[in-house]
């Protein structure tokens, strides 16, 4: 897709400085810009590249003041970071819209219902009773189980597995290798020391505008449903256990794990490698620092960190103390030696 500076400015509500007919067909980082690419400057630490970049067009903030001449055509916008996100979305949308039709190597049950403009890639499988909305993209080797519902405009990338009965909303994106609806980790200890599997009879419900990263697993509920509410964004390699409920617009970074029946409120931020024990509630607006271990309920808008997780400021003080422990130990050892010497002298 080739876009002119004027077209970009019109799309973003910006203004052009330079050649309005300058054209680009790709996006690049400003330090790697070359002819035919669109770059952006949002972070001042990269300002030096603005004056040396070979990019054809650069997005910058309307408030930015140039210190040197710039060879590239500039498109000034209110927020360059948001503007480049909009451009990436436009380019990606165009690319996605090019996907059409159903591969003859796919298998679609005659009892499945597909909407308009659905793409089904090679070796994808859609089971009986499945309902697929309009403009859905199902890439190669995707498995869609019986009675699965998938809303309009959702994208399932290669290798996604959606187990029986699960429901996916509209405008969702699920990346390669994600598994939605596998059995929850439920086993009852027996008298002989073995474990008996507890049947997982529920489903997973994923509401609208949710994005789930690659190789993430969302387990089906033991009973009823595991629920991912609207607007949630989940990174790669995340584990969501059975009967968990994730509140609206919560974001979860890579390698986090949430144990069974825990709930998060709206607009929480969960850092990478966070572990949350089962059967607790993470209140609305909670922010959890990376590698934290959360073992109890939180209060609204709390910022916590550490393992076990405590108030962020308290955790920072704890870290400062931890760093001095070797010195404190040495001082205590020295004092003990002095005391022992005094005892011998006064013995």
User: Which alpha helices (H) appear in the chain, and where do they start and end?
Assistant: 5-12, 47-50, 80-97, 312-346
Q: How high is the pLDDT of residue 52? A: 94
Cα(158)–Cα(107) distance, rounded to whole angstroms?
15
Pairing of strands 251-252, 269-270: parallel
Q: What pLDDT was estimated at residue 126?
A: 98
Which residues, including other chains, have CB under 8 Å from residue 303's CB and lie 6 or more apart?
Answer: 286, 287, 289, 311, 312
Q: Which of 149, 175, 229, 242 is catalytic?
A: 242
What is the reported pLDDT for 100?
81
Is 242 a residue of the active site? yes
Does 308 sit behind a cis peptide bond, omega within 30 degrees of 0 on the bond before it? Answer: yes
CATH superfamily assigned to domain 3-97: MurE/MurF, N-terminal domain (3.40.1390.10)
pTM over 0.85: no
Residues 6+ apart with CB under 8 A from 38: 3, 8, 24, 26, 27, 28, 55, 56, 57, 58, 59, 84, 87
Residue in 68, 67, 57 with CA at minimum distance from that of residue 17: 57
Coil vs helix vs strand at 311: strand
Of residues 5, 9, 31, 3, the one with CA closest to residue 93: 3
Spans of all domains in the chain? 3-97, 107-311
Per-residue confidence (pLDDT) for residue 55, from 0 to 100: 95
Residue 30 CB: number of other CB atoms within 10 A?
Answer: 24
- What digits encode the pLDDT tens for the residues 4-19? 999 999 989 999 999 9
Tell me the helix, strand and coil percentages in the chain, rounded to 5: 20, 30, 50
How many CA within 13 A on the CB side of residue 129?
Answer: 9
What fold characterizes domain 107-311? UDP N-Acetylglucosamine Acyltransferase; domain 1 (2.160.10)
List of the chain residues with pLDDT < 50: none
As a whole number of angstroms, the distance between CA 237 and CA 223 comes to 24
| Tens of pLDDT, residues 238-277 | 999 999 999 999 999 999 999 999 999 999 999 999 999 9
């Amino acid at each position: 897709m080739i876009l002119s500076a004027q077209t970009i400015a019109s799309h973003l509500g910006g203004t052009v400085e330079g050649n309005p007919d300058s054209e680009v067909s790709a996006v690049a980082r400003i330090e790697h810009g070359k002819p035919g690419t669109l770059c952006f400057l949002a972070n001042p630490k990269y300002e030096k590249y603005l004056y040396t970049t070979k990019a054809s067009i650069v997005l910058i903030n309307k408030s930015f003041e140039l210190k040197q001449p710039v060879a590239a055509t500039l498109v000034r916008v209110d927020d360059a970071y948001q503007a480049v996100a909009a451009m990436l979305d436009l380019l990606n949308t165009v690319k996605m819209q090019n996907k059409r039709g159903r591969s003859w190597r796919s298998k679609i049950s005659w009892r499945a219902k597909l909407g308009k403009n659905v793409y089904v890639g090679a070796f994808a499988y859609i089971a009986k009773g499945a309902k697929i909305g309009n403009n859905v993209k199902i890439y190669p080797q995707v498995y869609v189980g019986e009675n699965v519902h998938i809303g309009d405009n959702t994208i399932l990338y290669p290798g996604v597995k959606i187990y029986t009965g699960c429901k996916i909303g509209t405008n969702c994106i699920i990346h390669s290798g994600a598994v939605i609806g596998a059995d929850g980790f439920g086993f009852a200890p027996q008298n002989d020391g073995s474990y008996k599997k507890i049947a997982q009879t529920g489903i997973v419900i994923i509401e609208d505008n949710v994005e789930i990263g690659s190789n993430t697993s969302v387990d089906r509920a033991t009973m009823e449903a595991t629920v991912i509410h609207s607007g949630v964004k989940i990174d790669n390699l995340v584990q969501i256990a059975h009967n968990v409920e994730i509140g609206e617009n919560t974001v979860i970074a890579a390698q986090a794990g949430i144990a069974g029946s825990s709930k998060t409120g709206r607009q929480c931020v969960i850092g990478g490698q966070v572990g949350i024990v089962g059967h607790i509630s993470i209140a609305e607006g909670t922010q959890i620092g990376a590698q934290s271990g959360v073992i109890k309920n939180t209060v609204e808008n709390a910022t916590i960190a550490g393992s076990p997780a405590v108030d962020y400021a308290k955790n920072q003080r704890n870290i400062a103390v931890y760093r001095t422990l070797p010195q404190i130990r040495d001082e205590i050892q020295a004092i003990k030696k002095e005391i022992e010497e005094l005892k011998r002298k006064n013995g």
